[in-house]
Structure 1
Amino acid sequence: MKLKNIKYLFILLLSVSLNAQDLSKLKPLDAELTTVTYPFPVTVKMLKNQGQELKMVYMDDQPEKPNGKTVVLLHGKNFNGYYFEETAKALLKEGFRVIMPDQIGFGKSSKPKQYQFSFQQLAENTKSILDDLKIEKFILLGHSMGGMLATKMAVMYPESIDKLILENPIGLEDYRDLSPYQNIDKQYAAELKNTYQSYKDYQLKFYYDGKWKPEYEKWLNLVAGWTISNDFPITAWDAALTSDMIYTQPVVDDFEKITVPTLLIIGTRDRTAIGKANAPKDLQPLMGLYENLGKATQKKIKNSKLVELENVGHLPHIEVFERFIRPLLEFVKN
């Protein structure tokens, strides 16, 4: 056997062995992550909307030396508030109160079978938490899908938002112009095909440039654990509903309506785009070009600043935390 083939075989066997080790640590997770302990105090708010009672869970932590300001962190579609742990600790150290909701359909919050998901509804739900806490002004950060929600909140509640941060938000382009609609049944069927490996392959490609680190496993397992649970049909259904929301409710026309000071933090290697796999082959390479989308969006938002992180993917606050947190703290402290 040639040396080149032996080397390839060794790498393949090593990869299989490592994946087997990772999979051995994977535990089934129920729909509301009841066996997962979050890093900050958790509160449950009961919501009454759309004819049903729902639980919306959020973390709320106070700094030792408060500066009187609050930062609200909005998670992306494949995540929950937990993955902001390191970001929250850095903000707490600087005196900020930090609130991290799990949106309905995500994390520890309810997973309704029937729910009209809209960014306006999620915005109202989030604002109701802040109203309960009597927080009149706050700084808002949204990552990925959370960036679309943060954009909508900035338009709906400009008097309440002191500053806005958009970290690699999706929705910087109208996916309807690039990819054909997939109905919820098709979305659901696609979600049910997800596995630990499919999630990992996706994250390797779009988040981490093919370079996996052990610390990424925690965030992967919080969604992959659902795929081996009896509750997977429940979580997959809500994932399909929220994919439909993202596709059918673009926010590209909202950027020009934002009036609050805004910081865009963009990892330029990111190629995330909803529906890319269903788009015509000639259009797929044109979707999710964040090195272009960041600049174009910054021009639309008045009083905005763009920080581009070269050779960084969809998850700057996980992949390159130090490069992410410096411009964030500079923006929120001034």
Structure 2
Amino acid sequence: MKRTLSLPTLSMALLLLLLLALLLGSGGCIKRYRTAPALEFAQLPYRSLDGKTWPHKSIRAKAVAKRYKMKRAPRVVYVELNPSGGQTLVFIHGLGSYLKFWRYQLDTFAAKGYRVIALDLPGYGKSDKPASFPYTMEAMADVVRELLVQLGIRKPVLIGHSMGGQTALSYAIRYPREPRAVVLTSPAGFETFSKREQLWFAKVLSVRLIEDTPEYAIWGGVRRNNFYRWKPDYEWLIEERTRLKKAKQFEQYAYANVKSVTGLARNDFVRESAKKIVAPTLIVYGEKDRLIPNPFMHGGFTRTVMRSGAKKIRGSKLVGLARCGHTVQMDCHDEYNAAVTAYLAQVAPPIAKAPAPVPAPAPPRRAPTSQPVPASRPASQASPTSQPASQPTTR
């Protein structure tokens, strides 16, 4: 007899999973930060691994506001490194996180000669968190596109993690000729959710649920579900997530998470349209990913989901990294960076190879002049000189 979970049991299991999966910004010993002061989102320290501050800039997404009938254009914050570099890489973070989750990549790829841009999507990090923003993956892709349009960037490489991967998928499907290449990192978007499951996400998840998350759940959720090789270097995740919970904008951030989960589950568009992608595409995932596929709803293996997605994108390359979790760009940053570097060297090197210089043609030799020799020359006539005629002055 086939055993099935009752709806209440299933709901509780899914609830616990969502609680852990949503909170991508923590890990470590919670007690250490329980009494720490609040950290406002505007105060998030955006620094490189060696402590150097990344100066951040912002734009107003006016076209997005107009398209989605928002009264106020959201402010979108981004970091730009090596602005004089060649090929532009655009890093798009995942659910519950912000651009700092790319700290093992931004300086590394800037040093390789790339122009590097990482943004905080609406609802996350230092960007605005408006309730009027739809928080669909298509709207997120429109924000990324408007940032690039305002900065005058053409043919970018889109690099997205998890939700950011689904955002990059939407971008590459709707604007297929714009990206030079796409790098999907443990991407959402390939897993199938039924209509009933989509409705469940929208019904059960709430702002209150996120606000009331106990600190031990934050610790357990991120450390287990997002990492396979937890290190003390990731301690900043737990501190920032714990202190952000006391921030004035935390309710808006929680709302953005709730709406984003609904948008992620409604992924029929990207699954059914992935075949429209024409940009070279690399898919990198951790073989120890505990979030994809959803273990309570579907179970199975991450590689199965990723292979099904790769088959839909013509010419895509699939790379699985052993002993690596969902946040693979941090968990296995050396292996991840090596895989991305090798792929980009083939499809989008940092600076386009210049054509071999064509040697300048040698100046033509003056043809010898033949002048008639006079039969006789008066003694008083000067000898002809070889002094050249004066040249016009060029100004």
Q: TM-score, normalised by structure 1?
A: 0.84
Q: For 1:107, what is the secondary structure of its paired residue? A: coil
For residue 299 of structure 1, the aligned residue among 311, 315, 319 is: 311
For residue 325 of structure 2, the aligned residue among 310, 313, 320 is: 313
Q: Quick check: which one's helix share is greater?
A: 1
> What are the within-5 Å matches in structure 2 for residues 97-246 of structure 1?
97-176=115-194, 179=197, 181-183=200-202, 186-209=205-228, 212-246=230-264
How many residue pairs end up in the alignment?
305
Q: For 2:303, what is the secondary structure of its paired residue? A: helix
- Which whole-Å CA distance do the structure 1 matches of 2:288 and 2:98 have between them? 23
Q: For 1:116, what is the secondary structure of its paired residue? A: coil
Q: For 1:71, what is the secondary structure of its paired residue? A: strand
Query: Which range moves more in the overlay, 161-170 or 44-53?
Result: 44-53
Counterpart in 2 of 1:269?
288
State the AA in 1 paired with 2:29: N
For residue 52 of structure 1, the aligned residue among 60, 63, 72 is: 72
Counterpart in 1 of 2:340?
328
Cα pair distance change 1:57/1:195, threshold 3 Å: farther
- Which whole-Å CA distance do the structure 1 matches of 2:35 and 2:311 have between them? 46
State the AA in 2 paired with 1:95: G
Counterpart in 2 of 1:19?
29
Q: For 2:340, what is the secondary structure of its paired residue? A: helix
State the Cα distance separating 1:171 from its structure 2 match. Answer: 2.1
State the Cα distance separating 1:25 from its structure 2 match. Answer: 7.7
Q: Quick check: which one's strand share is greater?
A: 1
Higher relative contact order (CA 8 A, sep 6+): 2
- Which whole-Å CA distance do the structure 2 matches of 1:25 and 1:327 have between them? 41
- Which whole-Å CA distance do the structure 1 matches of 2:342 and 2:292 have between them? 29
Contact 1:58 1:102 in 2 (8 A): yes
- Which whole-Å CA distance do the structure 2 matches of 1:249 and 1:187 have between them? 20
- Which whole-Å CA distance do the structure 1 matches of 2:118 and 2:147 have between them? 11
Counterpart in 1 of 2:95?
77
Structure 1: segments with no counterpart, 5+ residues: 1-17
- Which whole-Å CA distance do the structure 2 matches of 1:124 and 1:313 have between them? 29
- Which whole-Å CA distance do the structure 2 matches of 1:303 and 1:160 have between them? 17
Contact 2:137 2:167 in 1 (8 A): yes
State the Cα distance separating 1:273 from its structure 2 match. Answer: 4.5
Query: Which range moves more in the overlay, 241-250 or 170-179?
Result: 170-179
State the Cα distance separating 1:158 from its structure 2 match. Answer: 1.9
State the Cα distance separating 1:177 from its structure 2 match. Answer: 6.0
Q: For 1:111, what is the secondary structure of its paired residue? A: coil
- Which whole-Å CA distance do the structure 1 matches of 2:226 and 2:139 have between them? 28
* RMSD of Structure 2 on Structure 1 (CA): 2.3
Structure 2: segments with no counterpart, 5+ residues: 1-27, 48-53, 347-395
Cα pair distance change 1:311/1:103, threshold 3 Å: same
Mark the structure with the bigger radius of gyration: 2
Q: TM-score, normalised by structure 2?
A: 0.72
State the Cα distance separating 1:131 from its structure 2 match. Answer: 1.1
Contact 1:187 1:243 in 2 (8 A): no
For residue 290 of structure 1, the aligned residue among 275, 283, 302 is: 302
Contact 1:196 1:221 in 2 (8 A): no
Deviations 1:241-288 (A, max 9, x none): 1111112244212322211111111111112148765x4xxx4x34xx
Query: Which range moves more in the overlay, 85-94 or 177-186?
Result: 177-186
Query: Which range moves more in the overlay, 219-228 or 163-172?
Result: 219-228
- Which whole-Å CA distance do the structure 1 matches of 2:216 and 2:75 have between them? 30
Contact 2:81 2:107 in 1 (8 A): no
- Which whole-Å CA distance do the structure 2 matches of 1:274 and 1:308 have between them? 15
> What are the within-5 Å matches in structure 2 for residues 27-66 of structure 1?
27-30=37-40, 33-39=41-47, 40-48=54-62, 49=65, 50-62=70-82, 66=85
Contact 2:29 2:219 in 1 (8 A): no
Cα pair distance change 1:27/1:292, threshold 3 Å: farther
State the Cα distance separating 1:87 from its structure 2 match. Answer: 0.4
Contact 1:42 1:57 in 2 (8 A): yes
